[in-house]
Structure 1
């Protein structure tokens, strides 16, 4: 039978072929852009498939011979229950048991899309064979060509004399050539035999066997290694292995070989459930050959956060190291060489609309020769708020803690603090007013106090009153431009706290606060409750803002000071003058991409700057920025801090990115840290080279920290994109600008 018009035929298949999945391409969107290049996403519309066991053929011309052979010519489209085939000609034999198509053949299923010269399908053997092919994997940038592609239910997908790359067409900067590439059914990895890796047209290495990922899903296998060289570790090679143990937990095992120190093993285990996340890190270096006696060295970390229900949550953070110099010598992903202690905390919390309750256990491991820190084992806090009327509320802040110290000579204590407060809050657009009246009661039971001035039991009760007011004035134009509106915000606070001698109480968790503009309005001079300062003082501050037509802050300046009406009698906070330091802050958007921040504390009696920090930043985009900083502290641990720093990140072309930072100690006339990184990044591969020199901060045997020794290092990382790594310049940027924050607080 012949038919010259469009034709539909439905034939029952005795043994439907089980095929993978693929689809035609769609127009690239913003979400398809990865790194520098757009990635064409391939989707497969399964709605176009036929019901199980059926096939549909559409063509310009059809001929059926004795009900055994059906021949189709001209724009042939064949749709089964699992794939689609288009060709110039097609032949179906014995009621669908065999199919042969040729001439501009395109095959698509949910796994692969192939263009070829011919395709043969045998439903009895459940096999499919294509020759002279060009292929593209679904949900992946992986593509290539092969002399033949064979698909069957037993072996899966096999490509012979194949090439594979994740680079865009026409930009094949790296290619894998293999005698055979196989894609087993149900596996997310491809396997290649007799593999040659090419950069451009140059072969760089050979592997008899190679496995690579086909999707972005987490998969077990080797990750890309890192290679570096430093004066501390020597040549440093780390090879991570990722183990996808289950959908909700995994492990990364990273052997690390250091020529100066030996072989270290680093492990990371992660677990996630519907209501919790946990992570365990263990690092172990046996027989460090660079240290006297070749000691074993280790680091461990356990982190957990969980929600028991909508109100109750738990948290754990435990850390430990074998010696003071572990982080300095071997580095850490969680601590820096400037840290002086490792936290060991656990807590359980309850939160509701009016009540916050937390039970803590706080401990620390001290690094270096620093005073032992008191442990709170445990510490319970409860904050309760009860509205009594529209402008009246009751607050109760309370705490119960047991303080212990690893030193047998230091006092220990139990402390209970309760502070009931009656507050009158009143807020309007034009200003706000609040009044608070509190009774501060603290009870101590102290032990190990022989030979000290401390008392075994202390019951301290103080009264405190605080009156606060602020007014907000605004005008539609400013002194600088008619396009800007200007605000003037005067603030005033009166604070009174009664006095009681507290010399019979030890210091357990109390240190003095640093002063800034907002800190002038604190009710206390100290953290903790071991010292509560007697106050009779007035705080005055003034803030002015310039707002543009979109109500964005272009300029904010604040200045404030405390005026003491009476001399302070708590010796630990005694004031030498009748006023505090003058505190000021400025945030200024100089232009769209330029921002300036400065803050300082000025001693008005001597007109000397006690503390200051200044930042000037040019930020054109997320990877185009330059930041100049300066900080000054007149006295910190009997030393003067006077440092200037320059940080920068800038792409010098579409593919080259540089990141650097340098800090110089003006007081000591020397550089204290230098970092430089350069990265080349194309659509499908990248290389990073990083060099740095910094103070080592090593500790001597008696715990004293060195301020004269430096550590230098250089590292390199090579990345095949699409083969187990998504690293880009953003990783180098975060390392090169470690600790980076926007230097301004404009909205």
Structure 2
């Protein structure tokens, strides 16, 4: 299961707080050590400076009295033992310690026959909880557990009780993962704020049925909203969280998360339903569901599924979603089985999509089967074969269905050494299409198409190493040139439809693939040489601190394929850089420079300064000269930084230079003491809603404000940087080196 959820049980009123608001600042936890005394059951050991026995009935002990039983240790200034130790009375600086509690008290009384222990005017600590309190009377019995009368509780340090609860009674019963309080008053800054006739709180990390901390916020889309989750611990491997979310602009939404876990399977079912959205003219019902599953059938067989759907185009924009954001245009639906072995891989999947907005429906692969087999023919030659069988279906009547079968045997001669790699490979790519073109007027597509292409590939790379001293540090510097010759024969493919094929970007990792397209519907003819080089800087801990790569394709012949987008005898120059400048500075960049224009076609750069998980500043820039007849030129900054020990600030800002406007602005500020925290977030971003025709509107903005409060020590913990992961763009680390 995921990390266990801790919860609060309420009978009437829930705390106004959120698990995500709990920050990481903590006070020094007051704890104590206790080991069970190693004495025989039923015996009592007493040590003191002086002792007196009266008529063999009463034993009086004075000065540094230590009373040890098999379950506890009592210390006091004086103590009386009667009836051969069956009753004990101790006074003066009394301390009682067992596996659960440590108590300081004015006096203690114990009765062995009743299995009852009582302490008056006590101050207590509970082991494992950063909390403490006081009680007029504290009773411990084998039958009832621990009962405290006229009791207080707080997680704040002594003398700084920013909040506390007082109750007429608190009971911590044996075998139960939570404590119970009656007639509870909650105080903040010494002022009572509300009252609960019954209140329960966790005393272990076990999952417990009950209410979680609620969430309160406000946006221009939903209005003021209040979400109250209820957690149900159905079984050790099965639970659910049911959330009621009330929005003043839209009504009451129900959300449900089911989780299950078995020895070989795990999964989740997410359900969200909003009946009669009052913000819509026709008050439509709105919903979202997601089913996710992963499982192992045997040593080699596994299954998986990820199925999603929503009621309308604007569901994510209006109501937000944990798994998708408003920039997504498709929700996937996949389910299938996989087989893995040393030489054979097989998969059988159904791949479907839910399209968001007025975008052409993708073809669904119902089903798609793939098989890959690899074997060594001898010490020098390897043989492998890739094959695929897929049936594509489209809901549009103007687009025909199709069956595609592809088989690609290859023979390769690999040679790998520490100094480099050589590879010679010959492949035959044979594809058969059976296309339904009956309802497609004036189409060049044909009912049956057979395409057979040959491909030859020569690839080589070398690794040169040199010890390098930079800034008084020792490094290993590598230079790794790479070259590839690729030849692919040509066949006219205009009679084949596009079912799962799109054009690839010219990135460094793609230029050595030798293909300009994903999928199999278009395979470009090639007669080309690819040149590239990578350089690495490796420190004495064998970690890469710098990786830089650059490459370009030289076309020896023009492509005859109509879909090919070549306009020169060379491709764009593709380069990538990952640089860990020092412990705190990180840079990632990739760039594509046009060959004819010598201008940047695409680029992205991200620079991050990080002192710790909560101290960071990140600058990012994204540029695309032309994308769907539009230019993208966006700059962003994200920051998380403490103001002082108690105050913390996060912010995010994105600017579109091409349209001269802010696309997203977010700021959050948090006050945190060691026993409570308060978080305020404000956000404004593009709403990107769809109109009735499914066209995205990029001129509307949505604004929101959220306030979260929590009593620390009574909920889940999260990171402050989680605030930066919210919103339209969110926060991501720029890169990860080895």
Shorter chain as normaliser: what TM range?
A: over 0.9
1:469 aligns with 2:469: no
- Aligned counterparts of 2:471 and 2:412: Cα–Cα separation in 1: 40
Taking a change above 3 Å as real, the CA distance of residues 134 and 728 of structure 1, as seen in their structure-2 partners, is farther
Does 1 or 2 have the higher relative contact order (CA < 8 Å, sep 6+)?
A: 2
Contact 1:280–1:300 under 8 Å retained in 2:
yes
1:607 corresponds to? 598
Q: Is the 8 A contact 2:209 2:231 kept in 1?
A: yes
1:685 CA displacement: 0.9
Q: Counterpart in 2 of 1:460?
A: 451
Question: Aligned partners of 1:149, 1:36: CA distance in 2, in Å?
Answer: 28
Match of 2:29 in 1: 39
Alignment of 1:266-277 (within 5 A): 266-277=255-266
Partner of 1:697: 688
Identify the residue that residue 168 of structure 1 maps to in structure 2.
157
Task: Show the counterpart of 1:191.
Answer: 180
Contact kept? 1:385, 1:393, Cα under 8 Å: yes
Segments of structure 2 that go 5 or more residues without pairing to the other structure are 1-22
Moved more, 530-539 or 649-658: 649-658
Q: 1:201 aligns with which of 190, 203, 224?
A: 190
Work out whether residues 78 and 84 of structure 1, in 8 Å CA contact, stay in contact via their aligned partners in 2.
yes
1:621-644 Cα offsets, whole Å, 9 max, x none, are 211111111111111112111111
Q: Does 1:526 pair with 2:525?
A: no
Q: Does 1:428 align with 2:427?
A: no
Q: Assess if the C-alpha contact under 8 Å between 1:485 and 1:546 holds in 2.
A: yes
Task: Please give the alpha-carbon distance, in whole angstroms, between the structure 2 residues aligned to 1:319 and 1:514.
Answer: 28
1:260-309 Cα shifts (integer Å, max 9, x gaps): 11111111111112222111111111111100111111111111111223
Going from structure 1 to structure 2, the CA distance change for 1:739 and 1:274 (only over 3 Å counts) comes to farther
Greater mean alpha carbon deviation, residues 432-441 or residues 168-177 = 168-177
Q: Which moved more, 1:185-194 or 1:543-552?
A: 543-552
Structure 2 CA distance, aligned partners of 1:37 and 1:142? 10
Report which stretch shifted further, 349-358 or 328-337: 349-358
| Other-structure match for 1:22 | none
Q: Which moved more, 1:444-453 or 1:349-358?
A: 444-453
CA distance in 1: counterparts of 2:458 and 2:276, whole angstroms: 63
Match of 1:159 among 126, 143, 148: 148
Aligned to 1:70: 59
Contact 2:638 2:731 (C-alpha < 8 Å) held by counterparts: no
CA distance in 2, matches of 1:317, 1:660: 33
The 8 Å contact of residues 402 and 413 in structure 1, kept in 2 or not, is answered as yes
Pairing 1:171-250 to 2, within 5 Å after superposition: 171-250=160-239
Distance 1:294 1:192, change over 3 A: same
C-alpha displacement of 1:221? 1.8
Shift, 1:480, TM fit: 8.6
Partner of 1:624: 615
Detail structure 1 runs of 4+ shifted over 6 Å in the superposition: 478-482
Q: Deviations over 1:398-452 (max 9, x none)?
A: 2111111111221111212121111222222221111111111112222244432
Where do 1:13-412 residues align within 5 Å? Answer: 35-46=25-36, 48-412=37-401
Deviations 1:676-708 (A, max 9, x none): 111112211111111111111111111011000
Q: Work out the CA distance in 2 between the residues paired with 1:744 and 1:76.
A: 63
Q: Deviations over 1:452-506 (max 9, x none)?
A: 2222222222111111111112222379988554332211000111111212211
Kindly indicate whether the alpha-carbon contact (under 8 Å) linking 1:49 and 1:83 is maintained by their aligned counterparts in 2. Answer: no
2:105 and 2:119 in contact (8 A); partners too: yes
Calculate the TM-score normalised by the size of structure 2: 0.92
Confirm or deny: 8 A CA contact 2:601 2:624 kept in the other structure.
yes
Contact 1:224/1:718, CA 8 A, preserved across alignment: no
CA distance in 1, matches of 2:537, 2:523: 38
Aligned 1:630-641 pairs, distance under 5 A:
630-641=621-632
Please name the residue that 2:496 is paired with: 505
- Map 1:635-674 to 2 at 5 A: 635-674=626-665
> Is the 2:664–2:728 Cα contact (8 Å) retained in structure 1?
no
Q: Does the 8 A contact of 1:417 with 1:441 survive in 2?
A: yes
Q: Give 1:684's aligned residue.
A: 675
Distance 1:125 1:620, change over 3 A: same
Query: 2:318 is paired with a residue of what secondary structure?
Result: helix
- What displacement does 1:709 show? 0.4
- Which residue does 1:712 correspond to in 2? 703
Structure 1 residue 67: deviation in Å?
A: 4.2
Contact 1:224 1:725 in 2 (8 A): no
Alpha-carbon spacing, 1:309–1:172, altered in 2? closer, same or farther (3 Å):
farther
Match of 1:566 in 2: 557
Q: Deviations over 1:547-596 (max 9, x none)?
A: 44444444433221101111111111142211111112233344442233
Structure 1 residues 352-399: Cα deviation after superposition (integer angstroms, max 9, x where no partner): 222222111111111110000111111111222213334432212221
Structure 2 distance, partners of 1:51, 1:200, is 49
CA distance in 2, matches of 1:80, 1:319: 60
What SS does structure 1 have at the residue aligned with 2:511?
A: helix
> CA offsets per residue over residues 44-82 of structure 1, 9 Å max, x none?
423x25444443334444444444333333333333333
Structure-2 separation of matches of 1:124 and 1:477? 80
1:591-631 CA distance string (max 9 Å, x none): 44223332211111122221111222212221111111111
Q: In structure 2, what is the Cα distance between the partners aligned to 1:703 and 1:737? A: 20
Name which of structure 1's ranges 177-186 and 282-291 shifts more when overlaid on structure 2. 177-186
Contact map agreement 1:368 1:705 (CA 8 A) in 2: yes
Change over 3 Å in CA distance of 1:280–1:124 after alignment to 2: same
* Contact 2:594/2:600, CA 8 A, preserved across alignment: yes
Deviates more, 1:629-638 or 1:179-188: 179-188
Question: Quick check: 1:545 aligned with 2:536?
Answer: yes
What's the offset of the Cα at 1:178?
Answer: 1.9
Structure 2 CA distance for aligned equivalents of residues 438 and 215 of structure 1? 62
Secondary structure of the structure 2 residue equivalent to 1:217? coil
Residues 1:485 and 1:726: Cα distance change in structure 2 (over 3 Å): closer
For 1:246 and 1:731, the matched residues in 2 are separated by 30
Contact 1:478/1:546 (8 A) holds in 2: no
Q: Is the Cα contact below 8 Å between 1:623 and 1:733 reproduced in 2? A: no
Assess, with a 3 A threshold, how the Cα gap between structure 1 residues 149 and 745 changes in structure 2: closer, same or farther: closer
Q: TM-score, normalised by structure 1?
A: 0.91
Contact 2:89–2:108 under 8 Å retained in 1: yes
Alpha carbons 2:437, 2:446 under 8 Å: kept: no
Aligned residues: 714
The alignment partner of 2:453 has SS state of strand
Contact 1:510 1:530 in 2 (8 A): yes
Deviations 1:323-379 (A, max 9, x none): 111110000011101111111111211222222221111111111100001111111
Seen in structure 2, the aligned counterparts of structure 1 residues 99 and 147 have a Cα distance that, compared at 3 Å, is same
Query: Secondary structure of 1:571's match?
Result: coil
> Could you tell me whether the CA contact under 8 Å between 1:618 and 1:626 is conserved in 2?
yes
Residue pair 1:686, 1:728 contacting (<8 A) in 2 also? no
1:725 paired to 2:731: no
Q: Is residue 685–residue 728 contact of structure 2 (8 Å, CA) maintained in 1?
A: no
Alignment RMSD, CA only?
A: 2.2
